[in-house]
Amino acid sequence: MKTGSVALVCCTGLLAGCGGGLAASPPVSTTVSQSVGNPWTRAAKAAAHVYWTLYAGSSFPQVQIARLPIKAKSKAKSIGHTSSNDLLYTSGLAVDLAGRLWILSFGKYGGNPTSALVFDLPLKDASVPRYTLVLSGTSGAAALAFDPSGNLWVTSPGNTSVLQYTGPFNKSGTLNPAITINAPSGFDPSGIAVDKSANVYVANFDSTGTNSIGVLGPPYNGNPFFLKGLTAPGGLAFDKEGNLYASSNGSNLAVVRYNADDLKSGDKPSIVDAAGLPADSYEAAFAFTKKGDLYAANCGNSGSAGIDVWALSRQNFGAKLKPSVVYTNSDIQQAGCAWGIAIK
């Protein structure tokens, strides 16, 4: 995983009082003009797209977009930083139940606190946020997810915490957290996912095999339990069957799955798949298509960064399944990172 001067500290911490983390750098922006006749305008109304951030400064794209399914030679549209959109050092992405794209941005506050920018789709060069939500209590927020009630959950590595903000979200302003969970020592929060029962799963970037993913359920005031078996995990995502996908990085590089019946305290991954991953990969975030294909944002380095795809709608996930597509472009390579990912 890349590190840099504008630190997004991948703090491993779910619950109880946390310790430090890993610093990752944000993206830079480039604006691409779009005419009325541009096929992107028509395509955005009809086709599904994958969105990703580069977690870099203003000389790089803040968000890139490609049509699904992505291919090795797909053309990506870039959305850059402007004074109107406040996109700068963008990190986590998510799509809410209303179909709006949420983007975590360090913006004018430098990430302390981080802003959540809510955009209507399709995202265009001239798009401005429908809502700008300043997430009080965050520092270098890395990832976000929604629970079944539509509440927002965010990991905040800079101050080793996990925060919940209560919806509905229908106007701009500063949000105060309804719940703040301080991570225990040795837990550096990175990726986050919420299951259908509102249990919150947070990846521990500091894990070397134990306490890999912290799990806490409502009312979120007890002690978590932990899933095991990962090194420096990043992204987390549930499929439609309730299986949890995660990443193991560093010396134990793999994408893994905890089957829905293997999500109890102390459980290890049911399937470990190291096949075909570029060396030095860091799978920072995951997203599923409606068909069930798995997309990952890879923030390893200039040689591995990009979008990795497992065509799970055609092939079962297994220990020897290589990515069907490994996509990158010059902007991703120069930034050395694709960080957040969302599909709509």
Query: pLDDT for 162-181, tens place per residue?
Result: 999 999 999 999 999 999 99
pLDDT exceeds 70 at position 21: no
Check: CB of residue 25 under 8 Å from CB of residue 55: yes
> If DSSP codes are grouped into helix, strand and coil, which group holds residue 159?
helix
Q: What is residue 274's predicted lDDT score, i.e. its pLDDT? A: 97
Any alpha helices (H) in the chain, and if so which ranges? 39-46, 330-335
Average pLDDT over every residue of 39-44: 40
- Looking at the chain, the whole-number percentage of residues with pLDDT higher than 70 is 87
pLDDT, tens digit (0-9, with 9 covering 90-100), for 61-71: 999 999 999 99
pLDDT, tens digit (0-9, with 9 covering 90-100), for 75-134: 999 999 999 999 999 999 999 999 999 999 999 999 999 999 999 999 999 999 999 999
Average pLDDT over every residue of 138-163: 98
- What is the greatest pairwise CA distance in the chain? 56
Picking from 337, 341, 342, the residue whose alpha carbon sits closest to that of residue 27 is 337
For 118, 144, 182, 342, the CA distances from 101, given in Å and listed in that order, are 6, 12, 27, 8
pLDDT exceeds 70 at position 46: no
- Looking at the chain, the whole-number percentage of residues with pLDDT higher than 90 is 86
Cβ–Cβ contacts within 10 Å for residue 73, how many? Answer: 8
pLDDT exceeds 70 at position 314: yes
pLDDT band at 317 (very low <50, low <70, confident <90, very high): very high
Q: What is residue 15's predicted lDDT score, i.e. its pLDDT? A: 35
Average pLDDT over every residue of 261-266: 98
> If DSSP codes are grouped into helix, strand and coil, which group holds residue 158?
helix
Q: What is residue 47's predicted lDDT score, i.e. its pLDDT? A: 81
Q: What are phi and psi of 331, to 5 degrees?
A: -65, -45
| Rounded distance between C-alpha atoms, residue 255 and residue 132, angstroms | 34
Q: What is residue 120's predicted lDDT score, i.e. its pLDDT? A: 98
The angle at the Cα of 93, spanning 315 to 79, to the nearest 5 degrees, equals: 105
pLDDT exceeds 50 at position 5: no
Higher pLDDT among residues 160 and 40, named by residue? 160
The pTM of the full predicted model, rounded to 2 decimals, is 0.88
Paired with 298 in beta bridges are: 283, 306
Which CATH code for domain 8-343? Answer: 2.120.10.30
Q: What is residue 10's predicted lDDT score, i.e. its pLDDT? A: 37
pLDDT exceeds 80 at position 221: yes
> If DSSP codes are grouped into helix, strand and coil, which group holds residue 286?
strand
Q: What is residue 213's predicted lDDT score, i.e. its pLDDT? A: 98
Lowest mean pLDDT among 44-48, 243-247, 283-287, 295-299: 44-48
Strands in 213-216's sheet, in edge-to-edge order, are: 189-194, 200-204, 213-216, 225-227
Query: How far is C-alpha 311 from the geometric centre of its chain's CA atoms?
Result: 19
pLDDT, tens digit (0-9, with 9 covering 90-100), for 24-38: 433 333 222 233 334
pLDDT exceeds 50 at position 16: no
- pLDDT, mean over the chain: 89
Q: What is residue 28's predicted lDDT score, i.e. its pLDDT? A: 30
